[in-house]
Chains A and B, each alone.
Chain A
Amino acid sequence: MPVNVGLAQLSDHFLLATVFFYALAVLAYAGDFAFGRRSAPRTAGTEQAAPVAEQALAQAPPLPKVAVGAGVAARSAATVPQAAPPATLSGGAGQPGSAAAQGAGGDGAGSAEAAPSRWRAGGAPAGPWIRAALALTVMGLATQILGIVTRGMAEHRVPWGNMYEFVMAITCAAVIAFLGLSFRFRVYAVGFFLMAPIVLALGLCATVLYTAAGPLVPALHSYWIWIHVTAMTVAIGAYIVAATFTVLYLIADRHARKQAIGTEAGFGAVLARLPSADALDRLSYRTVIFAFPIWTFAVIAGAIWADQAWGRYWGWDPKETWAFITWVVYAGYLHARATAGWRGRKAAYIQLVGFASLVFNLVGVNLWITGLHSYAGIN
């Protein structure tokens, strides 16, 4: 079936609109750092964001600490929170710097949390700048999804068959993952650090990587492209978000260490608007926990497809090799994070190594190494 040129052009316009909206969103996220009100519902110091973000992370409403009452009173009392410290759940006793330790002292935020609303839930509020940025992000996401859908309709096939389309898809997945986490855990301020690289990637998409709409080569004629590549897309989108959290964790952790020994530490104003180092680390871990099984599944699906297409389920093709390396390093991250002496910064660096191998697989292997996965469409 021939390519529908009109729809393909429409898709290109949607891409431009997406870049436009996302770029504006980045400006708005930056505007929050520059002009956002610092006080708002935050009562005290710069570290105020931490307990609340953590509370959101814990996803537990304030817990009842009920005084001894009589009979029936207990029934209602159990549902009415009183004097609620943020309910934080650490992994267990004796985890240093855990949420529990911070939560115990975090009574200051209590009054603000008594009536939680989505936008003013305490320490990490969405001010006007953030609200504008989120609205722009959502608009950009809408045009991006429309762009991907119209591209697929124009080509009568899955809209992630070459590198241009794949970068479109993974950035879309990353934005969805970020928005989901952002609304759930109120980590809006992270948006700047995620969206800025995404705008750059989409800019490259529109210029360097651009590939005109066309059919798939026969090697990709398989329903497995839906399974394998879609799973890869979702996993990579989540890994991108996790890597953003981890980079910010490393910066925030360095800042906290410097402050602890009294040295001058930069970026204080920016970090004050972000979740605490610990919360960033935990968010990153959770995101990897989400992405890793999907990545595993995607690799297995790829092996099944490779078996059907090439006659072997694993052949150390460069793409396979790097998918394996990525898997191994992320597995190392998950183990390291549960091992004394590796937890924290070391584990974070391991995750970034895994992410680097992921990016190399996407960019380096597509462009510089010849293998069976040569579908980039770039000459």
Chain B
Amino acid sequence: MTEVRVPAATGRPEDAADGLSQLPGSPGPAPRRGGRGTVDWVRWGWRQLTSMRTALILLFLLALGSVPGSVLPQQGINPQAVQEYYAAHPALAPWLARFSLFNVFAAPWFAAIYLLLFLSLAGCVVPRTFRQFGAARQQPPRAPRNLSRLPLSVTMASPLAPDAALAKASALLAGKRFRVRTGDGWISAEKGYLREAGNLLFHLALLALLVAVGMGGLFGYKADRLLVAGQSFGNTVTALDQFRPGRLVSSSDLQPFSIALDSFSARYVASGPDTGEPASFNAYLSYQEQPGAPTRRYDLQVNHPLNVDNVKVYLIGHGYAPVFRVADGTGHVVFNGPVPFIPVATSTLMSEGVIKVPDARPQQLGFAGVFLPTTVDVGGKLQSAFPAPYRPAVSLVSYAGNLGMNSGVSQSVYQLDTGRMHKLAVAPRPLAPGQSIKLPNGMGTLTFTGYRQWISLAITYDPGQLPALLAAIAALAGLLVSFLVRRRRVFVRAAAGAEGGSSVEFGGLARTESSETFGAEFEGLSKDLSTALASTGMAAPSADIPASSDPPSSPDERE
């Protein structure tokens, strides 16, 4: 995460922070302009692309590019708001659309940013992975000549001969999981290689995350379905209200389950300042994984989706569907069933809807109006006081004429095109369940027989979901490892001292930033080392090492 790249453009080794810069191949001089030709230019371009500076700039472009996506309405999230924006800013909106600003996250320029960023990332991470494998087999570098120049160093005397002292020091460091290299009169040891591994894991996991998101976009699908209590549907394209498949999904890929809504219950806060706020929703479903499979039941709630055949079904909305029976002028019952009304006020569930009766004779009939769950009369105006159905009523305006359903133009089931219809003179009167409107001129009768509830379901299938989650967890793990593990080196030099003993120099150096705790670790190590070197007994080393591993000396993966 930190000290990732040597910026290729400058190529100074100290650019990679904290001395972790012995990456081979710090790029050489900048290309001679006008010199070699395309190969040099490609190489130069690749170096620029994979440089830290470019990655940083792309990162900021990514952040900057996301901003309009949150400030302007987005087609994929709220298409209606986009239309409203068009209406409010007729001059500006087409220009914004030209730059895909109403669909930022699917825009070509946005894709260009993140693809370049990930290319830059890949160009950096993949070569590093190979170097990492190489480095993992390499030994630590030779000990410097003068250890007292290191940030931390200590000199101690030992009665042991230099070779014996070094052997003990080597055993001690190896026991603390340092990678030890010995030479003539010196030891070099290093620890914390995991840091680089964590760093790599993080960046590779981000690449994997992008792939997983892409997989979901190609092979997944989303759909919506409104379901009235007592009804059921099968997961087929025709039965779904809205179907948004990924690029590589065809209708035959849909999982063949079916779902029925047995009943739905909603509870609301009945008192206090939050009166009317919802308290809980339960949709009691029966479902079959495939035709002929056993029927199962599920209590669908917000935050508790149904998982059927790896497809997830969510409860995302609810409302009322008043039930109407319409008899036409000839006396035939030409309509009998629930009609979903759409809530216009979420706190009271006052809902609007239309009833279309194309089979009515002599003329087609249409009705538009409102459903009020708890009807109150406020100064002659009907309102709903509460979302629960304590005093349900409908209030309708009646039309007769041509519904226009055969004109070939697709119609919304929630809107009445009254262009070729005329309003019928019916005294406006709210209907309680069981009450009827008798239409004038013997055109028929509408009866409000009761109501049911409906729910809207979101159905999503995203095969990239689990890989995305795993990639995200891997990224987090890599991040933690790269932040918590510190690379550090220690060196020991022993020279012959007085009375057959030796003078031992011990020096250390932390190689990453935020490695302040290395001071404490070094102090503990030097204590252990001086303890080990003070005893001459041959049995001592093996007994010494476990004894000396007191907590402060091994804060390896701590902090």
Picked from B14, B76, B77, B520, the residue with its CB within 8 Å of the CB of A340 is B14
Picked from A69, A91, A312, A324, the residue with its CB within 8 Å of the CB of B19 is A91
- The residues in A between 72 and 121 inclusive whose CB is less than 8 angstroms from any CB of B are 72-75, 77-79, 87-95, 100
Among B62, B497, B517, B523, find the residue whose CB has the most chain A CB atoms closer than 10 A: B523
**Residue A259 interfacial (CB < 8 Å):** no
Residues in B whose Cβ lies below 8 Å from that of A89: 151-152, 510, 515-516, 518-519
- The residues in A between 215 and 274 inclusive whose CB is less than 8 angstroms from any CB of B are 215, 217-219, 221-222, 224
Distance, CA A318 to CA B70, complexed state (A): 5
- The residues in A between 44 and 78 inclusive whose CB is less than 8 angstroms from any CB of B are 57-61, 63-75, 77-78
Among A63, A309, A315, A343, find the residue whose CB has the most chain B CB atoms closer than 10 A: A63
Q: Give the residue name and chain of the A residue nearest to B277 (CB).
A: A217
Check B17 against A72 for contact (C-beta < 8 Å). Answer: no
Check B303 against A308 for contact (C-beta < 8 Å). Answer: yes
Check B19 against A311 for contact (C-beta < 8 Å). Answer: no
Supposing A293-B479, A311-B458, A335-B4 touch, asked if A68 and B157 sit within 8 A by C-beta, the answer is yes
0 or 1 for each of B1-42: is its CB under 8 Å from A? (1 = yes): 111110100101011111110000000000000000000000
0 or 1 for each of B272-316: is its CB under 8 Å from A? (1 = yes): 111001111100000000000000000001111100000010101
Check A329 against B63 for contact (C-beta < 8 Å). Answer: yes
0 or 1 for each of B459-475: is its CB under 8 Å from A? (1 = yes): 11010010011001101
Residues in B whose Cβ lies below 8 Å from that of A342: 53, 56
Supposing A92-B18, A307-B465, A357-B63 touch, asked if A63 and B154 sit within 8 A by C-beta, the answer is yes
Check A68 against B503 for contact (C-beta < 8 Å). Answer: yes
**Residue B156 interfacial (CB < 8 Å):** yes
Distance, CA A91 to CA B314, complexed state (A): 51
**Residue B69 interfacial (CB < 8 Å):** yes
Check B66 against A74 for contact (C-beta < 8 Å). Answer: no
Picked from A2, A63, A317, the residue with its CB within 8 Å of the CB of B272 is A2
Q: Which bucket holds chain A's interface residue count? A: 35 or more
**Residue B170 interfacial (CB < 8 Å):** no
Residues in B whose Cβ lies below 8 Å from that of A300: 469, 472-473, 476
Q: Give the residue name and chain of the B residue nearest to A316 (CB).
A: B105
Q: Give the residue name and chain of the B residue nearest to A343 (CB).
A: B17
Supposing A89-B518, A289-B483 touch, asked if A338 and B16 sit within 8 A by C-beta, the answer is yes
**Residue B337 interfacial (CB < 8 Å):** no
Residues in B whose Cβ lies below 8 Å from that of A329: 59-60, 63
Residues in A whose Cβ lies below 8 Å from that of B53: 339, 341-342
Distance, CA A222 to CA B154, complexed state (A): 56
Supposing A71-B157, A311-B312 touch, asked if A331 and B59 sit within 8 A by C-beta, the answer is yes
Residues in B whose Cβ lies below 8 Å from that of A285: 513-514
Residues in A whose Cβ lies below 8 Å from that of B465: 307, 313
**Residue A40 interfacial (CB < 8 Å):** no
Distance, CA A67 to CA B156, complexed state (A): 7
Picked from B56, B67, B69, B280, the residue with its CB within 8 Å of the CB of A218 is B280
Q: Give the residue name and chain of the B residue nearest to A73 (CB).
A: B157
**Residue B207 interfacial (CB < 8 Å):** no
Q: Give the residue name and chain of the A residue nearest to B530 (CB).
A: A78
How many Å from the CB of A12 to the closest CB on chain B?
15
Residues in A whose Cβ lies below 8 Å from that of B69: 316, 321
Picked from A70, A224, A286, the residue with its CB within 8 Å of the CB of B498 is A70
How many Å from the CB of A100 to the closest CB on chain B?
6
**Residue A378 interfacial (CB < 8 Å):** no
Picked from B18, B74, B523, the residue with its CB within 8 Å of the CB of A316 is B74
Residues in B whose Cβ lies below 8 Å from that of A362: none
Distance, CA A300 to CA B209, complexed state (A): 12
Residues in A whose Cβ lies below 8 Å from that of B498: 70
Total contacts A to B, CB within 8 angstroms? Answer: 259
How many Å from the CB of B433 to the closest CB on chain A?
27
Supposing A89-B518, A339-B15 touch, asked if A296 and B475 sit within 8 A by C-beta, the answer is yes
Check A91 against B18 for contact (C-beta < 8 Å). Answer: yes
Distance, CA A68 to CA B104, complexed state (A): 69
Distance, CA A70 to CA B503, complexed state (A): 9
Residues in A whose Cβ lies below 8 Å from that of B304: 308
How many Å from the CB of B351 to the closest CB on chain A?
19
Residues in B whose Cβ lies below 8 Å from that of A64: 154, 523, 526
Residues in B whose Cβ lies below 8 Å from that of A334: 1-2
Distance, CA A307 to CA B154, complexed state (A): 56
Distance, CA A318 to CA B78, complexed state (A): 12
Supposing A214-B272, A296-B475 touch, asked if A71 and B534 sit within 8 A by C-beta, the answer is yes
Distance, CA A334 to CA B55, complexed state (A): 12
Residues in B whose Cβ lies below 8 Å from that of A318: 70
Check A100 against B157 for contact (C-beta < 8 Å). Answer: no
Check B497 against A68 for contact (C-beta < 8 Å). Answer: yes
Check A69 against B1 for contact (C-beta < 8 Å). Answer: no
Check A214 against B510 for contact (C-beta < 8 Å). Answer: no
**Residue A183 interfacial (CB < 8 Å):** no
Distance, CA A68 to CA B506, complexed state (A): 12
Among A2, A212, A310, A317, find the residue whose CB has the most chain B CB atoms closer than 10 A: A310
Check B59 against A335 for contact (C-beta < 8 Å). Answer: yes
Residues in B whose Cβ lies below 8 Å from that of A206: none
Check A325 against B67 for contact (C-beta < 8 Å). Answer: yes
Residues in A whose Cβ lies below 8 Å from that of B511: 91-92
Q: Give the residue name and chain of the B residue nearest to A377 (CB).
A: B274
Check B501 against A71 for contact (C-beta < 8 Å). Answer: yes
Check A74 against B157 for contact (C-beta < 8 Å). Answer: yes
Among B12, B156, B483, B520, find the residue whose CB has the most chain A CB atoms closer than 10 A: B156
Check A312 against B71 for contact (C-beta < 8 Å). Answer: no
Distance, CA A325 to CA B70, complexed state (A): 10
Picked from A92, A217, A296, A307, the residue with its CB within 8 Å of the CB of B479 is A296
Residues in A whose Cβ lies below 8 Å from that of B312: 307, 311
**Residue B222 interfacial (CB < 8 Å):** yes
Distance, CA A63 to CA B519, complexed state (A): 8
Distance, CA A104 to CA B67, complexed state (A): 47
Check B2 against A337 for contact (C-beta < 8 Å). Answer: yes
Q: Give the residue name and chain of the B residue nearest to A318 (CB).
A: B70
- The residues in B between 39 and 86 inclusive whose CB is less than 8 angstroms from any CB of A are 52-53, 55-56, 59-60, 62-63, 66-67, 69-71, 74, 76-77
Residues in A whose Cβ lies below 8 Å from that of B66: 316, 321, 324-325, 328
**Residue B541 interfacial (CB < 8 Å):** no
Distance, CA A2 to CA B273, complexed state (A): 11
Residues in A whose Cβ lies below 8 Å from that of B14: 94, 340
- The residues in B between 463 and 503 inclusive whose CB is less than 8 angstroms from any CB of A are 465, 468-469, 472-473, 475-476, 479-480, 483, 497-499, 501, 503
How many Å from the CB of A327 to the closest CB on chain B?
9
Q: Give the residue name and chain of the A residue nearest to B18 (CB).
A: A91
Distance, CA A61 to CA B531, complexed state (A): 19
Residues in B whose Cβ lies below 8 Å from that of A316: 66, 69-70, 74, 76-77, 104-105
Q: Give the residue name and chain of the B residue nearest to A305 (CB).
A: B303
Check B2 against A222 for contact (C-beta < 8 Å). Answer: no
18 chain-A/chain-B pairs, Cβ below 8 angstroms: A59-B517, A60-B518, A66-B155, A68-B497, A91-B19, A93-B19, A214-B269, A214-B272, A215-B277, A221-B303, A296-B476, A313-B468, A318-B70, A334-B2, A335-B1, A337-B2, A338-B2, A341-B7
11 further interface pairs, Cβ-Cβ under 8 Å (given A89-B151, A309-B302): A59-B516, A78-B154, A212-B273, A218-B281, A219-B302, A221-B303, A300-B472, A308-B305, A316-B76, A340-B12, A341-B15
Q: Which 4 A-B pairs have the closest CB atoms?
A: A60-B519, A92-B19, A91-B18, A340-B15
Interface residues of A (CB under 8 A from B): 2-3, 57-61, 63-75, 77-79, 87-95, 100, 212, 214-215, 217-219, 221-222, 224, 282, 285-286, 289, 292-293, 296-297, 300, 303-305, 307-318, 321-322, 324-325, 328-329, 331-332, 334-343, 357, 365, 369, 371
Interface residues of B (CB under 8 A from A): 1-5, 7, 10, 12, 14-20, 52-53, 55-56, 59-60, 62-63, 66-67, 69-71, 74, 76-77, 104-105, 151-159, 213, 222, 269, 271-274, 277-281, 301-305, 312, 314, 316, 458-460, 462, 465, 468-469, 472-473, 475-476, 479-480, 483, 497-499, 501, 503, 509-520, 522-523, 526-527, 530-531, 533-534
